[in-house]
Amino acid sequence: MEREKQSISSISKWSLFMKDLAIALDLINILTNKIKPYQWPELVFAGSKEILGEKLTLTKEMVETAHTHFDRTADKQVMKFMNQNIKFDENSSSHEFIINFIETLPAESIPDSIKYASFTCLCNIPSVYIQTRVKFLYLFNIFLQRTLPDIDFSVTSGIGFIVDRIRSVRHYILFVIKFEIFNTALTRTAVNLESSEVNIKFDIVKASVAEHQEDTMFYQAYKQLKSDASRIFRRMEGEQVWKATYVGMFSNDQGGPYRDSITRICTELCSTRLPLFILCPNERTNNGLNRDRWIPNVFPPNQSIPIDIKNQYRFVGQLMGMAIRTKQYLDVRFPILLWKQLIHEEVTIEDIEAIDISSFAIINEMEENIRKVKSLNECDDDGVNNNCDYLFSSIMTELTFDVVSSTGQTYELIPGGFHIRITAANFEDYCMHYRQYRINEFYRQIEFIRQGLYSVVPWADLTVFTAHELEEVVCGKGYIDIEMLKRHTDYDGDHESSPHIQQFWSVLSDMFSEEQKKLFLIFVWRRSTLPYSDNDFSTNFTIAHLETSGNVDEALPRSYTCAFTLQLPAYSTKEIMYERLNYAITYCSSIDTDGRMN
Instruction: Name the catalytic one among 266, 270, 280, 562.
Output: 562
Torsions phi, psi for 404 (to 5 deg): -90, 120
Torsions phi, psi of 193, nearest 5?
A: -120, 30
- Spell out the residues 6+ positions from residue 311 whose beta carbon is closer than 8 angstroms to its own: 222, 226, 448
End-to-end CA distance of the chain: 75
The dihedral of CA 351, 357, 359, 361: what is its sign? positive
CA distance 461 to 149: 10
270 in active site: no
Distance of CA 225 to the CA centre of its chain: 25
Within 13 Å and on the Cβ side, how many CA atoms surround 8? 5
Q: State the CB neighbour count (10 A cutoff) for residue 306.
A: 11
Residue 469 and residue 273: Cα distance in Å, rounded?
28
Q: Note every long-range contact of 176-183, with CB atoms under 8 Å and residues 24 or more positions apart, other chains counting.
A: 176/83, 176/86, 176/87, 176/88, 176/93, 177/141, 177/144, 177/145, 177/148, 178/148, 178/461, 178/464, 178/465, 178/469, 179/88, 179/473, 181/148, 181/149, 181/461, 182/458, 182/461, 182/462, 182/465
Cis check: omega of the bond before 37, within 30 degrees of 0: yes
How many Cα atoms are found within 13 Å in the side-chain-facing hemisphere of 106?
15
Over 401-458, what HEC string results? CEEECCCCCEEECCCCHHHCECCCCCHHHHHHHHHHHHHHCCHHHHHHHHHHHHCCCC
Q: Which residues pair with 278 in a beta bridge?
A: 295
Q: 160: how many CB neighbours lie within 10 A of its CB?
A: 16
State how far the Cα of 586 lies from the Cα of 577, in Å rounded to an integer: 14
CB 243 within 8 A of CB 251: no
Cβ atoms of 127 and 115 within 8 Å: the answer is: yes
Active site residues: 562
